[in-house]
Amino acid sequence: MQIAGIHHVTAIARDPQKNVDFYTGVLGLRLVKKTVNFDDPGSYHLYYGDETGRPGTLLTFFPWPHAKLGSRGAGQATRIAFAVPEGSLGRWIAHLEAHGVEIEGPRGRFAEEVLVLRDPDGLEIELVELAGAAEIAPWEGGPVPAEVAVRGFHGVTLTEWNPDVTAALLTATMGFRPTDESPGRFRFETGAGGGGTRVDILASPDAARGRISAGTVHHVAWRAADDAEQLAWQRTLAERGLQVTPVQERQYFRSIYFREPGGVLFEIATDGPGFTVDEPVASLGSALKLPPWLEPARAEIEEALPPLAPIAVGQPVRGAA
């Protein structure tokens, strides 16, 4: 078996309104689902992606208003990279500077141009010029012009004390292949390659252990085509000696979780049923959606959640800097 690529990445934020304003109003992603953390229904779970929230485009957040800021370090996914069309970073720099967003670069890496930015909680995001990205249909309903808009994930960066043990899992079990290498950085790719199929491992033997909280990645989810493939992965990972959870129902996909040898929390999520199971494409993300087992508690849940207003495209972005 071979992992097809990234399904989604989940991170932690503090203020849900600033989170929505930044990812829809600045990065130009679509809020495709406004729901709650099924394990903590007193807090939101916000999903951003393309028009329909296809696997490979989804960045999700648990906004916990009272969370302390975390710290990046070993045993973490430390950067999330989005793909943008070649030649677009100049316009992105002007756009981000106009919103007061902290940026670094651009600089070259493995023959690609990379721009680093930070969201309101300090989460590090990369925009990477990807060959062929212009041919991928973007979300056209946001404030970023379609010709330069985000085209889903490029990949993720894992920071590890011992890159070899993580690399062994990626290659021997999950079907990744090594493609590039520079001092201290090792790139792996899976499936057909291109956007959403890449993992960089940073070798950081002296790094402190990262602390998961606001401004850090909670987990990285990989794609399984369907339930049968997910169950096959569950068996395979258990046979390799990894502790794998039972299947968890997440309404829009089903999930299993395990930690790779370096400590990063991985998930394998099914591609379906997708985000249109409880609202049509035209209105994705516009209403609070709850799974059937939480509907009886809707009144209490809505009362506990902070108000959340959609960003008005073309209006000033609240809390972007």
Q: Whole-angstrom distance between the N-terminal and C-terminal Cα of the chain?
A: 43
Asked if residue 261 belongs to a domain, the reply is: yes
Asked if residue 206 belongs to a domain, the reply is: yes
What does the mean pLDDT of the chain come to? 95
Asked if residue 254 belongs to a domain, the reply is: yes
Asked if residue 310 belongs to a domain, the reply is: no
Asked if residue 52 belongs to a domain, the reply is: yes
Q: What is the pLDDT of residues 250-290, one digit of tens each?
A: 999 999 999 999 999 999 999 999 999 999 999 999 999 99
Asked if residue 39 belongs to a domain, the reply is: yes
Tally of domains within the chain: 1
Q: What is the pLDDT of residues 19-68, one digit of tens each?
A: 999 999 999 999 999 999 999 999 999 999 999 999 999 999 999 999 99
Q: What is the pLDDT of residues 172-192, one digit of tens each?
A: 999 999 999 999 999 999 999
Neighbour count for residue 309 (Cβ, 10 Å): 9
Burial class (CB in 10 A: 0-12, 13-18, 19+), 209: exposed
Range of the domain at 62: 6-304
CATH number, domain with residue 179 = 3.10.180.10
Residues 85, 129 contacting (CB under 8 angstroms): yes
32 Cβ contact list (under 8 Å, min separation 6): 47, 48, 49, 50, 52, 53, 58, 275, 284, 285
pTM value is: 0.95
The pLDDT-based confidence of 311 (bands split at 50, 70, 90) is low
The pLDDT-based confidence of 312 (bands split at 50, 70, 90) is very low
Q: What is the pLDDT of residues 204-239, one digit of tens each?
A: 999 999 999 999 999 999 999 999 999 999 999 999
The pLDDT-based confidence of 309 (bands split at 50, 70, 90) is confident
Residues 203, 164 contacting (CB under 8 angstroms): no
Asked whether residue 240 carries a pLDDT value surpassing 50, the answer given is yes
Asked if residue 172 belongs to a domain, the reply is: yes
